[in-house]
Amino acid sequence: MAIEDDIALFARVPALSQLGMAALQVLAIGAEQRDFGFGEKLFAEGEPADCGYIVRYGAFRVASDDGQEAVAGPDALIGELALMVPMARPATATALEQSSVLRVSRSLFQRVLESHPEAARRLRDDMAARSSAAVTAMARAAATLR
């Protein structure tokens, strides 16, 4: 795949789209492609998380031991928080079909944010807005349970 295609992929990822083209270009150049067959694990719950993955094609079942489950398909970012902080994987991701991802290391992501402070500010603002929306939704849900 051409670098332009990878940049376009990064631009379609909602959590990354606000970074700007210069930052996305650096991420795309530094990302590593990894391919998986049906049933292969992208990562396992509890493993150290030092990167995020953008799904190029295919799909992954992301499931935790407590029963939470989601499917991540094309343009999905798996492991967003791991791009910013050291942590353990909260779930296991398994390929549901022939799939391909772009791996973005935390160190690359942090270098991009350091060298593109305007992108870091946009990302911070987006995360704050999403966090606020989640808190509001949880408060509404709690109010209906009373």
Residue 79: give its domain's CATH number.
2.60.120.10
Q: Residue 104's domain spans which residues?
A: 3-145
pLDDT band for 28, please (50, 70, 90 cuts).
Answer: very high
- Secondary structure element (H or E) that encloses residue 145, with its range: helix 117-145
The mean of the pLDDT values for the chain is 92
pLDDT value of residue 124:
79
Conformational region of residue 87, where left means phi above 0, alpha means psi within -120 to 50, and beta covers everything else? beta
The answer, yes or no, to whether residue 137 has pLDDT greater than 70, is: yes
Are the beta carbons of 15 and 104 closer than 8 angstroms? Answer: no
Q: Which residues contact 71 (CB under 8 A, 6 or more apart)?
A: 59, 60, 61, 62, 96
The answer, yes or no, to whether residue 52 has pLDDT greater than 90, is: yes
Higher-pLDDT residue of 130, 61: 61
pLDDT value of residue 1:
64
The answer, yes or no, to whether residue 131 has pLDDT greater than 80, is: no
Tell me the average pLDDT across 134-142: 78
Q: How many domains does the chain have?
A: 1
pLDDT value of residue 130:
74
Tell me the average pLDDT across 45-73: 97
